[in-house]
Amino acid sequence: MDKSEVINLRSGVSTVGIIGAGTMGIGIAQVAATAGCEVFLFDTDQEQTEKSIRGLRATFEKLVSKSKITESEADEIMERIRPVVSLKDFSDADLIIEAIVENRDVKKKIFSELEDYVSEKCIISSNTSSISITSLSADLKNPERFIGIHFFNPAPLMPLVEIIPGLLTRGGLAEEIYALMKDWKKVPVIAKDIPGFIVNRIARPFYGEALRIVEENIAKSEQVDDAMKTLGNFRMGPFELMDLIGIDVNFSVTKTVYADYFFDPKYKPSLLQQRMSEAKLHGRKTGRGFYSYAENAEKPTPEKDEKLYEQIFMRIISMLINEAVEAKRLGLANDADIELAIQKGVNYPKGLLAWGEQIGFDKISETLQQLYDEYQEERYRQSPLMRKLIKN
């Protein structure tokens, strides 16, 4: 592509196409429309598109009633979001953001078809949370204009956006998207194209280790959640968060990261989570997950145990800090972006590198060594950088 034909994204994106009208798709549409862009929203299920538009309108009505936004502002945003019935309707789009099911083959098929309809100037992107950007772009006619733009759920509220250039992405595109996300009032970070990117790689133990603790009958889910909230000041415990995200979605991301890291035991999925997914106990969206969300349902009261809670907290936080240290060692992002991504992407109360300093990397190392000695699993191996961070 001639460089002169490449649009200046910071000032040139006025029309955005969104593929997928689910929770993420409609959320991203709201963000783009609020930023003043004209948005075309497409889903193969037109009923889903209509349902999401109605839901957004209802959300705005509530915001207007609470004086969070004016009625005229809400109307203007809604008018900028236009449902379309075909990918052909994206012919005038400056930027496409795909937000459909986390399935590599399904996404690649959509992108291949999309290239036949959009202009040469159009940037194509995926909101994937874990699938390789390079692999998604490899079969495209013009992979240079493809990039990852990963929003977090709910997109209008969560500030972080991970920007992921693939090996074939043209130089400078990541920086242009970075500037665009700033204009959209988001907090962008540029990440390497590795499984899980920054957040979903580092955060895996928050779920995985919590699941293992419950699977081994060391504690109940409500105790794990309570321990992480009371000792770590997390807003939500792992099981509450999995129910919110969707147990099926969380499981899918875990499987992708595990496979893409050539089955590294650090990212091994949970059988408990698999059974929950098979039973369609997906959390809030199905009315039942690790907790019940039926009308008048009461959450179980955790049996508090100070010693157990400390064990739970140190086990999970040590695994998280170890992942952050390894991300630092591998240069997946700079230290500031690693800390920013975790705080803005999954609402952790503080950055994990800073947390390691506070607790003491020696204590984190000792906890991981004890787990390794007990289980004899590579899951608990320490980052080579860990011991170098311990102050003599």
pLDDT (average), residues 62-89? 96
- Residue 318 above 70 pLDDT? yes
> pLDDT band at 6, cuts 50/70/90?
very low
Catalytic residue among 98, 102, 162, 176: 162
pTM: 0.91
Residue 64, pLDDT score: 96
- Residue 219 above 60 pLDDT? yes
pLDDT (average), residues 286-304? 95
Class of residue 357 by CB neighbours under 10 A (exposed 0-12, middle 13-18, buried 19+): middle
pLDDT (average), residues 273-292? 96
- Residue 9 above 70 pLDDT? no
What sign for the dihedral angle of Cα 281, 286, 292, 294?
Answer: negative
Catalytic residue among 150, 252, 270, 322: 150
Residue 1, pLDDT score: 35
Active-site residue flag, 150 = yes
Neighbouring residues of 127: CB distance < 8 A, sequence distance ≥ 6: 20, 24, 28, 97, 98, 99, 148, 149, 150, 151
Alpha helices in the chain (DSSP H): 9-12, 23-34, 46-65, 71-80, 104-114, 133-137, 173-183, 199-202, 204-215, 221-232, 238-245, 247-260, 271-278, 306-330, 335-345, 352-359, 361-375, 386-389
Catalytic residue among 200, 221, 277, 322: 200
SS3 string, 229-290, reads HHHHCCCCCHHHHHHHHCHHHHHHHHHHHHHHCCCCHHHCCCHHHHHHHHCCCCEHHHCECC
> pLDDT band at 163, cuts 50/70/90?
very high
**Mind listing the pLDDT tens digit for each residue in 107-147?**
999 999 999 999 999 999 999 998 999 999 999 999 999 99
11-25, 178-192, 196-210, 375-389 — which is least confidently predicted? 11-25
- Residue 42 above 80 pLDDT? yes
Question: What whole-number distance in Å separates Cα of residue 322 and Cα of residue 251?
Answer: 21
Catalytic residue among 52, 125, 127, 129: 129
Active-site residue flag, 282 = no
| Residue ranges of domains in the chain, CATH in brackets | 3-190 (3.40.50.720), 200-389 (1.10.1040.50)
- Residue 391 above 80 pLDDT? no
